[in-house]
Amino acid sequence: MGSAVEFAAMGRLEVRVSPDDVGKRVSIRRLAEAGESGGRFTDTVGILTSWDDGVVVVTRRSGEQVRMAESSLVAGKVVPAAPARRRGPSASYGELAHVTARAWQPLESERLGEWLLRAAVQDAPDATPGVPEQRSTHGALAGVTGAGASGAGREGAGTGSTGAADEGLEGTGTGDAGTAGGSPEGTGSVPGAPRRTGFTRRANSALPLGDPGVPLPEALARVHAWYARRGLPAYIQTATGAEGTQELLCAELEAHGWRREVTAELQTAPLVPVADPPAGRGAGADRVHLSREIDDGWLRRYHRTGGAAGPDADVVRAVLAAGPSVWFASVRDEGPDGEPGAPAAIGRCVVDGRWAGFMAVEVAPQARRRGLATAVMAALARRALDEGASAAWLQVEAENTAAQTLYRSMGFDVHHSYHHYRR
C-alpha cells in the first residue's frame, strides 16, 4: 500500500484517502471527464474497493463500480457508514441475508466454510471423488439461522407482480426466466454429468455469509466444480449498499473473471401499511383465498412454470412449499376474459419471526389495474400480522418502474442491492 495522496486543489480541497483505506466508505471528488454531465467536478460515495496502478475503484450502493484515475482526484475522505433508512424497519444485512435464505429453499445444499452452495435440479448426479460433500436435502438448513428468525433454515427470496411488479431475474441459465428445468444449460460441466437448468438463480447459487475456510481462489474453484457436477453454471449471490455487505468480494470476483449478470434491490417496510392500504386500494382483499398448499391453478398462473407439469413442477412445488411459515394467495378470475383453471392473481408469503417476505405476486394481463396485486399483498400481510410479524421485505429489479411505484406507495424503501455473478 502506498502513502496517502495529499495535495491542494484551489487552495482548499485535499485528498485524505489512500490505498490503506480499501474496504472503507469514502467520498471522492474528481475532475469530470470529457462528455460527463454535472460540471467540472463529479462526486462519488461508496466503498473503496481497489487502488492499483494509478486507478481507484469505488463501489456505489447499487453495486456500480466507478473507476477513476488517481491523477483526477481533487478531494476525498473516509466517511461514516451509510445511515439506516428512516422509512423501513431497522435491520442488518446479516439478518436479512439469513431471513431471505430461509424463504427460498434449494433441494440440495452443501457448506463451504461459511458459504452455502445451493441447487434445485432434478436428479442431481453423484459427486465425483476428491471433493467431500455434506449434502442436505429439504429442511436440512437448520444451521442457517439469524436474528429474528424462527424455524428450520431455508433459502433465497424475491417478489414481483407480473406486468406491474415482477422481479423477473430468476431462471438459471440462458433460457426463459420461467424455465423450471430440463433445458440444456450447464456451462463448465464435467464429462458424463447431465446438463440441466436449475429452478431460479436464488436456489442455484452460492451464498457467501462469511469466510469460506479456504483461500478465495480455491473456494471459487470448488464452487465452480460443485455446480459443474450438477450440469449447472456457477453463480455466486452477493450484496452491496449496506453496512456489512460485500463490495470487496464483488471486486475480487470480477478480478477472477466472474461477471455480474443481474442486479435487484431488497426493500423493506413496516408491515401494517401493507396490510391496511389506503381506501379504494386493495379493496378486493376479501376475495383473496389463502392456503398452505399450492394447487394446479396457482402453478398455471405462476410465470416461472408456464403451466409445467411433471418432474419439473415437482421441483417448483418443493422449493415454493419450503419455509418457516408459508402461505399461498389466489384470486379467482370472475371476468369474461378469464383463463379457465387459472386465478386472476397469486402471491406467496413466508413468515419468519418478525419478518414477512412477499414473492411471486402476479396478476393476469386481463385483470391488471384492478388493485389485485395490492389486495393479494394486503391479505397475506394481515395473516402475517396474525402470526406476529411486524416488518416486510421483498425483492425487485431497480429498472422495474411500475413495481417500484407500487411498492413505494406501500412504504417500501431500498435496504441493499443484490447481484448474481457467473463464471
39 pLDDT more than 90: no
Q: What is the pLDDT of residues 78-88, one digit of tens each?
A: 888 766 555 56
CA distance to 139, 143, 423, per residue, from 118 (Å): 13, 14, 16
Cα 143 to chain centroid distance, Å, stands at 20
Q: Is 67 buried (19+), middle (13-18) or exposed (0-12) by CB count in 10 A?
A: exposed
CA pair distance 71, 352, nearest whole angstrom: 50
CB 119 within 8 A of CB 109: yes
Q: Is 223 buried (19+), middle (13-18) or exposed (0-12) by CB count in 10 A?
A: buried
CA pair distance 199, 182, nearest whole angstrom: 10
138-142, 188-192, 366-370, 399-403, range with the lowest pLDDT? 138-142
CA pair distance 373, 307, nearest whole angstrom: 20
Percent of the chain with pLDDT over 90: 46
Q: What mean pLDDT comes out for the span 368-383?
A: 93
DSSP string, 44-86: EEEEEEEEETTEEEEE-TTS-EEEEEGGGEEEEEE-PPPPPPS
- Computed over every residue of the chain, the mean pLDDT equals 78
Q: What mean pLDDT comes out for the span 158-176?
A: 32
CB 407 within 8 A of CB 165: yes
Grid cell of 249 as nine digits: 468480494
pLDDT of residue 278: 81
Q: Is 214 buried (19+), middle (13-18) or exposed (0-12) by CB count in 10 A?
A: middle
pLDDT of residue 273: 94
Grid cell of 244 as nine digits: 456489512
Q: Give all strands (DSSP E) within 127-187, no chain letters.
A: 160-161, 165-166
The CATH homologous superfamily of the domain defined by 268-418: Gcn5-related N-acetyltransferase (GNAT) (3.40.630.30)
pTM, full prediction = 0.72
2 pLDDT more than 90: no
pLDDT of residue 191: 52
CB 118 within 8 A of CB 206: yes
CA distance to 237, 357, 408, per residue, from 207 (Å): 5, 18, 28
Domain residue limits, the chain: 8-78, 93-151+167-259, 268-418
Q: How many residues does the chain have?
A: 423
120-134, 262-276, 316-330, 363-377, range with the lowest pLDDT? 120-134
147 pLDDT more than 70: no
Instruction: Return the CATH number of the domain spanning residue range 8-78.
Output: 2.30.30.520
Percent of the chain with pLDDT over 70: 71
